[in-house]
Amino acid sequence: MNNKLVSPKKIQGFWELMPKDEVLFEDMLGRLKKVFETNCFLPLDTPVAEFAEVLLAKSGGDVDKEIYRFTKGHADICLRYDLTVPLARFVAGNFNELDFPFKRYQIGKVYRGERPQKGRFREFYQCDADVIGEELPLSYDAECIYLYKPASKALNLEVVVEISNRNILAGLFESFGKDIEPLMVIIDKLDKLDRDEIVNLLTEKGLNSEQIEKTLKIAGTSGDIEKVLSLKTECENATYLKGIDDLACLDELLKALGVENRIFNLSIVRGHNYYTGTVFECYLLGKRNLGAIGGGGRYDNLCKNFLDKKLQGVGMSIGITRLFDILKSENLLKNEGQSFVTIGIITFEETLNYGLKIMASLREKGIRAEVLNETKSFKAKMKEANKRQIEFVLILGEDEMREQLFTLKNMTTGEQEKLNLEGIVEKLS
């Protein structure tokens, strides 16, 4: 007989919280759901696994290297790496049943086989809100960016959104006569590599020194819309100029929506090559060094891989797992002392059954009640209530059961009072 114990180790980079933290995390999810629904987005839940031909229809960049892929029988399957491609598949498969523009939000786990490190996980939650329609004006781009404002308010945070338009650099590279996507992958690494490394990579892709300088000047532009407009004379390419004009229009729309914490940063291109216009990333205000907590943009051609119709899309995302990890490590989480139990009922051998009856009655009225019925001493049970940060304790002895007056102790202040069950319900409600 083999009695060797199996090590209870967890796969590195996969998400798991202690129950106390899970309560806080679920609270964050609930607040975000309310924000999305208040802004007229419908809920959606797509499968975690997709056929490889669906998920890989249009990804590209470094993402393909990170996808979890396996076979089951004859099926070639991938775990979703984001929620956008599954959305496109859903829209294409249910096109005739949906009303457009179709606005949906989804909160779910995604998987990327990258190297785990601080703030980066292999399994993590994303919160997405997207709009898909046959013709979407820029006002929908503005609405998706605007969502960061109520979302951050709901989480008691301050954020700033950095915005660009992929067409600006795409038009520039087009004017050079170069392949756009490999150059976009390099620009996406501007925050990670130093200037010399970027120059070497651009040189390897065939850019000369003049083209490299112009690329770095434009990609390095950050500030208000006037700075962006000052670049109009740098390139005559129509795609380039449209990207700048679209940002100017977007700026006016964001003003109308009251989005004040915004800047334009033309180095932002996003890692997925399905983006076709507006792109943006969201950072905690004054804490850009902690990395982006969300992002998104416009993707006007994504559904063409699944549907013989032109549909436009734009969406925003919050990396809620990454955000939670940052808030915890930076000591920015609120209500960390919150208990999941409002009232603990301390019984004795002769009052246990009646204590269970009270517990059931309180729970029916929406009060989180629990009988501390382990075979411990009274002192040990009080110590347990303190350790679990239970807010109130009801002490149930034979006298209390007979008189129907119960000792209720506030575990924070130490105050005690005698109340009947109705009084306890009123106080705790």
List, by residue range, all CATH 3.40.50.800 domains of the chain: 343-428
User: Which three-class secondary structure state does DSSP give residue 275?
Assistant: coil
For 331-385, how does the pLDDT look when each residue is reduced to its tens digit (9 = 90+)? 887 655 566 789 999 999 899 999 999 999 999 999 999 999 777 888 999 998 9
* Helix residue spans in 126-275 (DSSP H): 138-146, 148-154, 166-176, 180-187, 195-204, 209-219, 225-229, 238-257
3.40.50.800, 3.30.420.40, 3.30.565.10, 3.40.630.30: which CATH number matches 343-428? 3.40.50.800
The first and second tokens of residue 278, run together, are 């507006």
Where residue 351 falls (left for φ over 0; alpha for ψ -120 to 50; beta otherwise) is: alpha
For 165-194, how does the pLDDT look when each residue is reduced to its tens digit (9 = 90+)? 999 999 999 999 999 999 999 999 998 899
List, by residue range, all CATH 3.30.930.10 domains of the chain: 19-329
The first and second tokens of residue 54, run together, are 């669906």
Tell me the CA end-to-end span of the chain in Å, nearest whole number. Answer: 56
Closest by Cα among 362, 403, 313 to 132? 313
Calculate the dihedral angle through the C-alpha atoms of 267, 269, 271, 272, rounding to the nearest 10 degrees.
Answer: 180
- Per-residue pLDDT of the chain (429 residues), as tens digits, is 567 899 999 989 898 998 888 989 999 999 999 999 999 999 999 999 999 999 887 655 456 678 999 999 999 999 999 898 899 999 999 999 999 999 999 999 999 988 877 777 899 999 999 999 999 999 999 999 999 999 999 999 999 999 999 999 999 999 999 999 999 999 999 988 999 999 999 999 999 999 999 999 999 999 999 999 999 999 999 999 999 999 999 999 999 999 999 999 999 998 767 789 999 999 999 999 999 999 999 988 878 889 888 899 999 999 999 999 999 888 887 655 566 789 999 999 899 999 999 999 999 999 999 999 777 888 999 998 998 889 999 999 999 899 999 999 999 899 999 999 999 999 988
The first and second tokens of residue 112, run together, are 């990327």
3.40.50.720, 3.30.930.10, 2.70.150.10, 3.30.830.10: which CATH number matches 19-329? 3.30.930.10
